[in-house]
Amino acid sequence: MSVLQLAPAVRWPHSTSLRLGAGLTLLFVLTAFLSWLWTPFDPTAMAITDKLQWPSLKHWLGTDHLGRDVLSAIMAGARTSLGVALVAVAVGAIGGIPLGLWAAARGGWVDEIVMRANDLVFAFPALLLAILMTAAMGPGAVNAVAAIGIFNIPVFARVTRAGALTLWQREFILAARVASKGQMRISFEHILPNLLGALIVQCTIQFSLGILAEAGLSYVGLGAQPPTPSWGRMLAEAQTLTALAPTLALFPGLALTATVLGLNLLGDGLRDLLDPRAQARRSS
Amino acid sequence: MRLLNIRDLVVAVGGRPILKSLSLDLDAGEVLGLVGESGSGKSMTALSIMGLLPHGASVAGSMRLAGQELTGLKETELCALRGREMGMIFQEPMSALNPLLSIGEQVAETVRVHRRTTRDEARRVARDTLERVGLPAARFPLTLHPHELSGGQRQRVAIAIAIALTPRLLIADEPTTALDVTTQAQILALLQRLVREDRIGLMLVSHDLAVVAQVADRMVVMKDGAIVEQGETSHLLRSPNHRFVRRLLADSSHRPRRAVQSNVGGAEPILDVVQVTRDYPRTGRALGGESQIFRAVDGVSLSIRRGENVGLVGESGSGKSTLLRAILGLDAVQGGDILVHGASLTRARGAELRRLRRQIQVVFQDPWGSFDPRWRVERLVAESFHLLDILPGARERRRKVEEILERVGLAPADADRHPHEFSGGQRQRIAIARALVTEPSIIALDEAVSALDVSIRAQILDLLANLSQQLSCLFVSHDLQVVRAITDRVYVLHDGRIVETGATATVLDAPQHAYTARLAAATPDLEVALRQREAHNGIRARCCRP
């Protein structure tokens, strides 16, 4: 039984949700990279004569009120979303994981201070404070990244600490301590590698939340500023025109939904794949 | 008609055969011992009868409980039988109970599931049943929760749940393996009493031959999903026919042969524990209240000389694990000192601490938990090199790891494998290799052979006996059989204090302290159990002879 539990899973997963999630995520990432090299039109080029067109062979997803191609804007918007969310997750992980490891390793007052500081950040509604921050420091993609990233730190710190605390009780950690290894060394040699599964899952979930948060900030005009394309701002601009051009809100909305759904499915699938208990369930 | 009648039971899980044509019988009022090593299918037999096999299991053959066929019953029909006609007790009482329900509710729940009774009636049954299993409501109110009870008391609650509706068949799967010996003796006595009073048929699944010899009237020995031998307990154990049973018997009473230690008495102690005290703050104190202190180890002194094997014996809560952690330098002590070759471990820091720690290495109890699952054996074993002042180079490191693997009976190529590729016994060898690689003077073994099958245990004990001519071993264990087999001297720890110490044979055969005597008496002994059984059978044979 235990042999099965610890065997690393290398075979291709059979779970549909994982495949669907991985597919959608891959589509999102590829679109974002493709937009650097090629978009059907310049996403910022206006053509007032072609404004508010329905989807056609020329403009696959139609045009907006300034005649900009929607498909190109969505592709370029994917790049913004990817960039903001990626950096925000990185800020959260780089700030939060060492904090969590430190709190779990030291315990006592270090743990107390780190976790209470986390509670403090948690206690504020994240998006509201992000709005406050961007309002104070001025709107823009960089400030949005900072605001979202800072709220990712306690999430990663908490997940890391919880996992690390149970690992510190394990006998192989005792064995490392008997070998006189320090807390720092044990944390990075033993604890972190054994937490990677949980942390990767957390990354995908924070990633999707980051995309949502960026869209939310852009929607209220505090995220990426024009002319940088952003799904959130596309939605905000389309809102007033729903009666005239309903598809204008539909496509960025769909892109956002599909991406967030894909990342969440990927996270769930990865969790099942990396969780040893789930492995035992599958193989029994 | 027999109570339980199993014919040609074949069970496969996911296409893999688990039980191969199993046939056995059990009468009312009889105790049947089911014995085998891990993976022999004894627990699977129990689960088949209860209809609790995992998904994807296929069952063929016949299982009759008081004439009623169990194979092929639907889940709802099995539910009606479970708890009312047959009950089951598991190894780990904490996980078998619901931590959120009071003990009264948990027993009453079983009653209410099967009988249309009022809440009051169910509670009355629960109170009576708990009283029968030795938890009278006056001292153990029904409102207690599992976490407020000791392991033995929890197992009593689990037994109460199983017998609340006086089932005809009771299956106990390693019911005392997780318990201390004195608690084990009480639980076994309780089970025997219930069998006598209610004429329950008890199937006792166990890896411990001594326990089975003590309790079971008949026994079945299993290996690889099949029965190798069955029969009356004392007859089977006195004159086993099958080679496997003979080996099992030899292994379970195995005493490794050790070279006689010369000059032990005069040698300098390598480890000196002097009046060590270890305190814990009590958890759960009221806010702003006085913090209370729990003294887990109270002024303990012990010493180990070169080449000597010393046992540290005590039940759970005696403080033996706490003391071991202090000796390994994992926790600070609140009083006293620990001297390694005369130098204080408790005051050492940095390089000095590494130098002293190099002298004492450890093998832990759980062969599954003591390795980082992501590391390969070479890196695992070489982790102890961190204690050296100069780390060996890659080639030197590899050479040393291969050398030590061979010394503990593994192949040099095993260095490239992951721990999950090894069996429990092999993993314990890797743990010993990791402990030995820096050439310590003392190895501490924390219940290091308790989790192993008897055949593997015998091999590991032999390996340790071979190694210990050069080094000293500290055996921390609750298992007096093992301690007797391998140690020269023993310390008995009770409530954080050493209550008795001396040569192992003297202490265990003629204990001076009441606690040691209780411990020695409660430890199941195959020979004693068989003699009692034969005497009992003899009396029965004489008085019943026409």
pLDDT digits (tens, 9 = 90+) for B47-78: 999 988 888 888 999 999 998 999 888 888 88
Helix (H) or strand (E) holding B445: strand B442-446
pLDDT in tens, B267-326: 678 899 999 999 887 665 455 555 678 888 999 999 998 888 899 998 888 888 889 999
Instruction: Report helix angle B514-522 to B181-198, nearest 10.
Output: 50
Residue B219: strand, helix, or coil: strand
Q: Does the distance separating the beta carbons of A177 and B383 come in below 8 Å? A: no
Q: Does the distance separating the beta carbons of B373 and A178 come in below 8 Å? A: no
Q: Does the distance separating the beta carbons of A175 and B386 come in below 8 Å? A: no
Which residue from A175, A180, A194 is facing B370, i.e. has the nearest CB?
A175
Q: Does the distance separating the beta carbons of A175 and B387 come in below 8 Å? A: no
Structure tokens at B266: 């005069």
What is the pLDDT at residue A239? 84
Q: Extract the residue ranges of chain A whose pLDDT is less than 70.
A: 1-14, 275-284
Determine the Cα–Cα distance for residues A214 and A232; give it in Å rounded to an integer. 7
Question: CB contact, 8 Å: A170 with chain B?
Answer: yes
Residue B375: closest CA among chain A residues belongs to which residue?
Answer: A190
Chain CA centroid to CA A81, Å: 9
Chain CA centroid to CA B348, Å: 36
What is the pLDDT at residue A3? 36
Q: Show the 3-state SS of B28-61.
A: CCCEEEEECCCCCCHHHHHHHHHCCCCCCEEEEE
B447 within 8 A of B365, measured Cβ to Cβ: yes
CB-facing half-sphere around the CA of A261: CA atoms within 13 A: 12
Place of tokens 């950040």: A121
Average model confidence (pLDDT) across chain B: 87
pLDDT-above-70 percentage for chain B:
94
Question: CB contact, 8 Å: B354 with chain A?
Answer: yes
Question: CB contact, 8 Å: B434 with chain A?
Answer: yes
Q: What is the sign, positive or negative, of the torsion defined by CA atoms of A133, A138, A139, A143?
A: negative
Q: Does the distance separating the beta carbons of B365 and A171 come in below 8 Å? A: yes
Residues 24-63 of A with CB under 8 A from B: none
Q: Where are the alpha helices (DSSP H) in A187-275?
A: 192-219, 231-239, 247-274
Chain CA centroid to CA B181, Å: 10
Q: What is the sign, positive or negative, of the torsion defined by CA atoms of B338, B340, B345, B347?
A: positive
Q: Show the 3-state SS of B361-418.
A: EEECCCCCCCCCCCCCHHHHHHHHHHHCCCCCCHHHHHHHHHHHHHHCCCCHHHHHCC
Mutate: best of B354, B371, B386, partner A, most A CBs <10 A: B386
Determine the Cα–Cα distance for residues B137 and B131; give it in Å rounded to an integer. 7
Q: Extract the residue ranges of chain B whose pLDDT is less than 50.
A: 285, 546
Q: Calculate the dihedral angle through the C-alpha atoms of B323, B325, B328, B334, rounding to the nearest 10 degrees.
A: -70
* Chain B residues in contact with A7 (beta carbon < 8 A): 420
Neighbours of B63 (CB within 10 A): 23
Instruction: Report helix angle A16-37 to A70-106, nearest 10.
Output: 120
Structure tokens at B397: 């490191």
Neighbours of A227 (CB within 10 A): 11
B132 within 8 A of B160, measured Cβ to Cβ: yes
* Chain A residues in contact with B330 (beta carbon < 8 A): 174, 177-178
Biggest distance spanned by C-alpha atoms of chain A: 76
B253 within 8 A of B524, measured Cβ to Cβ: no
Q: Does the distance separating the beta carbons of A284 and B420 come in below 8 Å? A: no
Q: Does the distance separating the beta carbons of B353 and A180 come in below 8 Å? A: yes
B296 within 8 A of B280, measured Cβ to Cβ: yes
* Chain A residues in contact with B328 (beta carbon < 8 A): 174, 177-178
Whether the complex's predicted ipTM surpasses the cut of 0.85: no
Question: CB contact, 8 Å: B8 with chain A?
Answer: no
Give how far B283 is from chain A: nearest CA, Å: 13
**Cα→Cα distances A228→A40, A258, B437, B528, Å:** 17, 21, 61, 86
Mutate: best of A168, A170, A171, partner B, most B CBs <10 A: A171
* Chain B residues in contact with A181 (beta carbon < 8 A): 383, 386
Q: Does the distance separating the beta carbons of A6 and B373 come in below 8 Å? A: yes
What is the pLDDT at residue A1? 36
Which residue from A3, A171, A180 is facing B369, i.e. has the nearest CB?
A171
Region class of B96: left (phi > 0), else alpha (psi between -120 and 50), else beta: alpha
Give how far B511 is from chain A: nearest CA, Å: 34
Question: CB contact, 8 Å: A182 with chain B?
Answer: no
Which residue from B330, B368, B372 is facing A177, i.e. has the nearest CB?
B330
B138 within 8 A of B152, measured Cβ to Cβ: no
* Chain A residues in contact with B54 (beta carbon < 8 A): 284
Q: Does the distance separating the beta carbons of A178 and B361 come in below 8 Å? A: yes
> What does DSSP assign to residue B82?
B
B171 within 8 A of B486, measured Cβ to Cβ: no
What is the pLDDT at residue A4? 38
Question: CB contact, 8 Å: A136 with chain B?
Answer: no
Question: CB contact, 8 Å: B331 with chain A?
Answer: no
Structure tokens at B235: 């007859």
Determine the Cα–Cα distance for residues B344 and B322; give it in Å rounded to an integer. 18
